[in-house]
Amino acid sequence: MAKPPLIWLTRPRNDSIALAAKLAEHGIDSIVAPVMHVVHQPLVSMPMKPHAILLTSRHAAHALASFLSTWRSLPVYCVGKSTASAAAELGCTHIIPSASSIVTLLPRIVDNLGAGTELLYLAGEDTSVDVAHFLNSQGVYVTTCIVYHAIAERALDEAVHNALTKNSITGVTFFSPRTAEITRKLLQSANMVDEVATMDAFCLSANVSSTAGKLDWKNIYTCSAPTLRSMHELIVSHADKTL
């Protein structure tokens, strides 16, 4: 008899809690055990007023509060619904959302803004796409401000350790190559690498799957699109086979 699904959610806590609630609607249990935590960094100095702002994560939205009193109506390009919602909650009035990825949003930014314009990119310390290089090559000049850091956890979560010992975790989520790499190092430090042989790895993209492949998971599954919705559907579709 197949084990009931139990998914290890590795994203920062609030993100994982939201996904856990969605999975619970389908009878899927989760362990919320982030391998990173987010630390906000305020803007040290006020950049010059740009023609538009780019957010690729909701974790960067907090920085908007520093200048919304005068920049409230600027176009704010947002990757993902949660990012757009965070910008809206702060009072932005001109939000341009993208349900897919930064890769598909960049050409749209170029078409909308045109050459000779300036974009403020509020970003995390680690990014997977060189936004500035692409946009600068198209004549859109980018100022990048680092406004948050994702700090790796130093030890495997106790609940995860206990669940791995009991062989009860059936899957794990990876939303970035860095998350997959940190998880690998935590498992190695805990001498629990062999335990993943009975677990599925659910990965947001091919790049994430490639990094996850450094460990011998039972299966590695890749989302059809790099979105939270696709991740949710991927987990549910495989859980349905065991419920």
The pLDDT assigned to 1 comes to 53
pLDDT on residue 242: 62
Q: Which residues pair with 165 in a beta bridge?
A: none
Average pLDDT of span 26-36: 96
d(CA 213, CA 207): 10
pLDDT in tens, 179-206: 999 999 999 999 999 999 999 999 999 9
pLDDT tens string 145-184: 999 999 999 999 999 999 999 999 999 999 999 999 999 9
Domains with residue ranges and CATH for the chain: 38-150 (3.40.50.10090)
Residue 232 pLDDT > 80: yes
Res 243: pLDDT: 53
The DSSP-derived string for 86-118 is HHHHHT-S-EEEESS-HHHHHHHHHHHH-TT-E
* CA dihedral of residues 31, 32, 35, 41 (deg, nearest 10): 180
